[in-house]
Amino acid sequence: MTAAALTGDNLEAPPAAPPRKAAARIAALPAAEAPPARPRMPLGRRLEPFFKATIPPLLGVALLLGIWYVATLKSVSLPGPDKVWTEAVKLFSDPFYRNGPNDQGIGWNVLSSLKRVGIGFGFAALVGIPLGFLIGRFAFLARMVEPIISLLRPVSPLAWLPIGLLAFQKADPAATWTIFICSIWPMIINTAVGVQRVPQDYMNVARVLALSEWKIVTRILFPAVLPYMLTGIRLSISTAWLVIVAAEMLTGGVGIGFWVWDEWNNLKVESIVIAIFVIGIVGLTLEQALLLLAKRFDYQ
């Protein structure tokens, strides 16, 4: 998903400008002088960058739909694109209904998953970022915590779910807890690496000016580390969004993961395919929003 999003971004962004410029030039022409003798770029040439940007992704999507269509043509259990589309239109015509706790619109399900991700991620940021700063600043602390992080980081966050259930006695905070666990590692590690990589030049400026520790943190460390921190946040959110679906399948309640499982029990495979697309689109949106934010704070 990441790679596709990135290349899509690269393809779309730069060529978008030229056709607009070309259009402006042509619009300005007739007023200035008589156009007939003017050598104009052929239309195809002018639209080339636009096509280069849009055709390959559209082709890719078309190919996917084509393969999907052909593959499901003879299948009874797997729905084709047409069936899913009809179902999706029905589903999205009323995304926010409530018929009791186990039957709610897809909008509510997505929102409650996002809420869990938000809370779990928020706590992880609250703990992970300051911890990352401390680890980055003090080598002793880094050496102390390193084995613990190395040991716990590769563990699937779902393995922590029973601990959460035991500790909180409720499904909902347990799911949030798994999000906390999976979000915290990238945040700690990226923040710490960012602090360790603050250029010595900047620290020399701080030393020559004999800045107070507060000024060093607010004026030098924090801005220097921010890009690393945002990378950590982006990785955390992506992982969190991966994990929440699995966690909700296990805990139940309201949420996109639970919804997938519920629809599977109802044998409504169309809904599961729709859910896959919804999860993908929400994940892509989160990632792109954070990339935009990161660009804002890139000073180089």
- Write out the residues near other proteins by the rule CB under 8 A: 201-202, 204-205, 207-211, 215, 219-220, 223-224, 299-300
Minimum CB distance to other proteins, residue 19 (Å): 28
What's the min distance (Å) between Cβ of 5 and other proteins?
Answer: 26
Which CB, 4 or 209, lies closer to other proteins?
209
Residue 83 or 219 having the CB closest to other proteins: 219
In this structure, the dihedral spanned by the alpha carbons of residues 220, 225, 227 and 231, taken in order and rounded to 10 degrees, is -170
Residues 6+ apart with CB under 8 A from 253: 101, 112, 171, 172, 175
Residue of 248, 2, 213 whose CA lies nearest to 112: 248
| Residue number, 166 or 208, with CB nearest to other proteins | 208
Beta carbons within 8 Å of 181's beta carbon, 6+ residues apart: 124, 157, 160
Q: Whose Cβ is closer to other proteins: residue 77's or residue 200's? A: 200
**Minimal distance, residue 215 CB to other proteins, in Å:** 8
Strand partners, 98: 104
Minimum distance from CB of 209 to other proteins (Å)?
Answer: 5
Residues 225, 163 contacting (CB under 8 angstroms): no
- CB of residue 208 vs other proteins: minimum separation in angstroms? 5
> What's the min distance (Å) between Cβ of 137 and other proteins?
18
Shorter beta-carbon distance to other proteins: residue 53 or 129 = 129
Q: With contact defined as beta carbons under 8 Å apart, do 191 and 228 qualify?
A: yes
DSSP string, 84-113: HHHHHHHHHHSTT-BSSTT-B-HHHHHHHH
Q: Which residue lies nearer to other proteins by CB, 38 or 215? A: 215
- For the chain, the farthest-separated pair of C-alpha atoms sits apart, in whole angstroms, at 82
Q: How far is the CB of 297 from other proteins (least distance, A)?
A: 8
Show the tokens assigned to 294.
């990161």
- The Cα angle at residue 190 between residues 247 and 218, in degrees rounded to 5: 120
| Residue 68, Cβ density class (10 Å: 0-12 exposed, 13-18 middle, ≥19 buried) | middle
In angstroms, give the least distance from the CB of 231 to other proteins: 17
Nearer of residues 150 and 300 to other proteins, judged by Cβ: 300
Nearer to other proteins, 170 or 215 (CB): 215
Exposure pattern of 80-111 as b/e (b: 16+ CB <10 Å)?
Answer: beeebeebbeebeeeeeeeeeeeebbbebbbb
Residue owning tokens 């954070």 = 290
